[in-house]
């Protein structure tokens, strides 16, 4: 079976290629991929190449498939897994497989395998993914929601990694402080949007939630989609604050919670933002540096007095576990969270190299790729413009109308129309 795939050959060297997949072994599974959302982690792996901890040293001669926020269907099941999985079954994967034989446990789908990655029309799942319980059947009515389950799981894991203590009781009480105060800094981007949604609609909720950013447009979109009124119905007092207009951002944030914040999440790999988070922590406060930097020589200062006497905690999380992924799927299936707000663009597989390399410079949130389609990268807000242009396609006008009916969000109806009518790669 052939696959059209985006493969990494080295630093900033991504190529859309036709790959001949080998026959699967008895302990492997052959799949198609339908959707894959682009993660900033893929950008970091691309600009670092073999210097990245998950990318093999020999990537120049043995390129790897990229992409890990994927959803697709099983095509063929090796003898070992027959009875547990079957052709036609929709699936998602947990890419954080923790498999020591592969790059000392750092290896992962989308980074380390020649035939396993999400930006491909077809791929092979190796035995360890099933062996470790990282292949999950998915019963949702849209592929894109399956793709979003993985990034949502990293948010879920971040909340579960927070901890608090009681004086002289040396026991970490995991998760956010229920009924406490949360600050999310630089959080009007796609991952921040998912975190706001999760904080408001999960069972364990804060009393106060402050969301900051320096981009007024992003803040306005976040407030329109995740409203203070809806938060109030769930017992959460939600504030949006543009710290770009404040001379003393930390003081402005702290006015909302004068005793400081129990839980602080930092969504930008910027030392000044980290230090804002440090300055607004209350007693026994926990700060999570969620944003993964691409540089190794990046530092933020800690207040050692507060670390000692105010019992401040600092953690960092990267990815979520399989149980976090299951929780994400359950909350989405129940309609309690809607991560559609994370998506601002759709595109086909041919736009992936340029999109990944230039990802930090492309405004908006997540870029959702349909791997079998040959379409440009289009912002959801621009769908109607693509229909009205000199070479316009009425399909995009129809999609724009569907998106407008769903409060500007990508949705299952729009996906069905797109998959049925959009041009496919190779004219197929």
In this structure, the answer to whether residues 288 and 341 fall within a common structural domain is no
Domain endpoint, select from 292, 310, 328 = 310
In this structure, the answer to whether residues 143 and 9 fall within a common structural domain is yes
Looking at residue 428, what is its pLDDT? Answer: 53
231 Cβ neighbours under 8 A, 6+ residues apart: 200, 209, 237, 238
In this structure, the answer to whether residues 92 and 56 fall within a common structural domain is yes
CA 55/CA 63 separation, integer angstroms: 9
Best mean pLDDT range from 105-119, 286-300, 387-401: 105-119
In this structure, the answer to whether residues 154 and 173 fall within a common structural domain is no
In this structure, the answer to whether residues 355 and 384 fall within a common structural domain is yes
Looking at residue 296, what is its pLDDT? Answer: 86
pLDDT level of residue 94 (50, 70, 90 thresholds): very high
Distance of CA 142 to the CA centre of its chain: 17
CATH number at residue 37: 3.90.180.10
Question: What's the whole-number mean pLDDT along residues 184-200?
Answer: 97
In this structure, the answer to whether residues 296 and 395 fall within a common structural domain is no
Question: What's the whole-number mean pLDDT along residues 259-282?
Answer: 97
Q: Say yes or no to pLDDT of 392 above 80.
A: no
Distance of CA 233 to the CA centre of its chain: 27
| Structural domain containing residue 425 | 1-163+318-428
Q: Say yes or no to pLDDT of 149 above 70.
A: yes
In this structure, the answer to whether residues 304 and 359 fall within a common structural domain is no
Token pair belonging to 126: 């190796």
Looking at residue 388, what is its pLDDT? Answer: 81
Domain count, the chain: 2
- Condensed to tens digits (0 to 9), the pLDDT of residues 237-268 reads 999 999 999 999 999 999 999 999 999 999 99
Q: Say yes or no to pLDDT of 9 above 70.
A: yes
- Condensed to tens digits (0 to 9), the pLDDT of residues 204-239 reads 999 999 999 999 999 999 999 999 999 999 999 999
Q: What is the mean pLDDT of the chain?
A: 95
Looking at residue 427, what is its pLDDT? Answer: 64
Question: What's the whole-number mean pLDDT along residues 99-110?
Answer: 94
In this structure, the answer to whether residues 275 and 326 fall within a common structural domain is no
Q: What is the DSSP letter of 104?
A: G
In this structure, the answer to whether residues 116 and 180 fall within a common structural domain is no
Number of separate helices (H) and strands (E) present in the chain: 14, 19
Domain endpoint, select from 264, 286, 310 = 310
Which helix (H) or strand (E) element contains residue 47? Answer: helix 40-48
In this structure, the answer to whether residues 4 and 115 fall within a common structural domain is yes
**What's the number of CA atoms in the CB half-sphere (13 Å) around residue 406?**
19
Domain endpoint, select from 242, 277, 310 = 310
Token pair belonging to 368: 């959702």
In this structure, the answer to whether residues 44 and 139 fall within a common structural domain is yes
Q: What is the DSSP letter of 38?
A: P
Token pair belonging to 61: 């001669």
Looking at residue 426, what is its pLDDT? Answer: 77
In this structure, the answer to whether residues 329 and 389 fall within a common structural domain is yes
Looking at residue 60, what is its pLDDT? Answer: 97
Pairing relation of β-strands 181-185 and 261-266?
parallel
Question: What's the whole-number mean pLDDT along residues 394-419?
Answer: 97
pTM for the whole structure:
0.94
CATH number at residue 230: 3.40.50.720
Q: Say yes or no to pLDDT of 371 above 90.
A: yes
């Amino acid at each position: 079976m052939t696959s059209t795939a985006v493969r990494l050959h080295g630093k900033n060297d991504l190529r859309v290629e036709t790959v001949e997949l080998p026959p699967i072994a008895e302990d492997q599974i052959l799949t198609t991929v339908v959707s894959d959302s682009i993660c900033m982690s893929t950008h970091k792996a691309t600009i670092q190449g073999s210097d990245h901890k998950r990318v093999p040293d020999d990537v120049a001669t043995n390129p790897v498939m990229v992409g890990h926020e994927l959803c697709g269907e099983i095509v063929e099941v090796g003898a070992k897994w027959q009875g547990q999985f079957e052709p036609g079954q929709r699936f998602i994967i947990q890419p954080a497989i923790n498999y020591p034989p592969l790059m000392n446990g750092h290896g992962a789908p989308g980074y380390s395998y020649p035939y396993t990655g999400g930006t491909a029309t077809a791929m092979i799942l190796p035995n360890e993914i099933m062996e470790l319980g990282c292949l999950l059947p998915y019963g949702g009515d849209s592929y894109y929601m399956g793709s979003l389950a993985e990034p949502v799981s990293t948010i879920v894991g971040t909340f579960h990694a927070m901890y608090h203590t009681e004086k002289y009781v040396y026991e970490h009480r995991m998760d956010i402080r229920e009924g406490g105060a949360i600050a999310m800094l630089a959080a009007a981007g796609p991952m921040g949007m998912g975190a706001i949604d999760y904080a408001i609609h999960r069972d364990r909720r804060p009393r106060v939630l402050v969301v900051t950013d320096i981009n007024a447009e992003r803040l306005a979109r976040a407030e329109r989609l995740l409203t203070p009124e809806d938060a109030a119905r769930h017992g959460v007092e939600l504030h949006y604050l543009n710290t770009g207009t404040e001379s003393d951002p930390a003081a402005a944030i702290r006015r909302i919670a004068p005793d400081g914040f129990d839980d602080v999440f930092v969504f930008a790999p910027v030392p000044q933002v980290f230090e804002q988070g440090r300055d607004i922590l209350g007693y026994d406060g926990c700060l999570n540096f969620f944003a993964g930097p691409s540089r190794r020589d990046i530092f933020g200062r800690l207040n050692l007095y507060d670390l000692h006497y105010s019992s401040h905690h600092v953690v960092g999380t990267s990815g979520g576990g399989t149980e976090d992924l299951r929780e994400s799927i359950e909350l989405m299936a129940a309609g309690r969270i809607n991560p559609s707000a994370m998506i601002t663009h759709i595109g086909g597989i041919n736009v992936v190299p340029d999109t990944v390399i230039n990802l930090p410079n492309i405004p908006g949130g997540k870029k959702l790729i349909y791997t079998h389609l040959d379409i440009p990268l289009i912002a959801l807000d621009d769908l109607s413009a693509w229909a009205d242009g000199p070479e316009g396609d009425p399909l995009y006008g129809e999609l724009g109308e569907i998106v407008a009916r769903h409060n500007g969000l990508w949705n299952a109806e729009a996906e069905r129309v797109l998959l049925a009518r959009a041009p496919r790669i190779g004219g197929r």
